[in-house]
Amino acid sequence: MPEPLPLRSALITDAAEIARLTKQLGYPSPPEAIRERLERLTVLDEYFVCVATGETGLVGWIAAEHRLLLEYGDRVEIVGLVVDEAARRGGVGKALVAAVEAWTRSRGQRHIAVRSNVVREASHPFYERLGFMRSKTQHVYSRTL
């Protein structure tokens, strides 16, 4: 049986490695920006950031948020997940999602949602293999003020 993947809560000192991985996700951000975001997010009880560690650094991270929505009530949503290109298909993503599942249960919640961009075709079967079911397709609109 393979050894369990080392997972832990994200630390402020992980900023550079998280930035490196986030760039692979298609969202380049300088480590200083990631550090500032981690400083703000990791103190929030409603926010969860977990990292997977490898021999040479981080091999993945996941973030989830517990929100109260007027139309749905309480809901946990995976808001970010990336596995290093060199570590994909090795169980890292599955382990990170399992960490969110445990966090969700610890909060007395039973439902997890995740949004996956239509261009991330490889992620769709990944989530389906983990038991997620596609519930809708939507457009995202944004505007700069």
Alpha helices in the chain (DSSP H): 15-25, 31-41, 92-106, 123-129
pLDDT at 32 > cutoff 80: yes
pLDDT at residue number 1: 36
Mean pLDDT of 79-103: 94
Kindly state the percentage of the chain with pLDDT values over 90. 66
What is the per-residue DSSP string for 70-104? TTTEEEEEEEEEEE-GGGTTSSHHHHHHHHHHHHH
pLDDT at 135 over 70: yes
What is the per-residue pLDDT for 55? 85
Q: 136 or 2: which carries more pLDDT confidence?
A: 136
pTM passes above 0.85: yes
Lowest mean pLDDT, pick from 53-57, 96-100, 115-119: 115-119
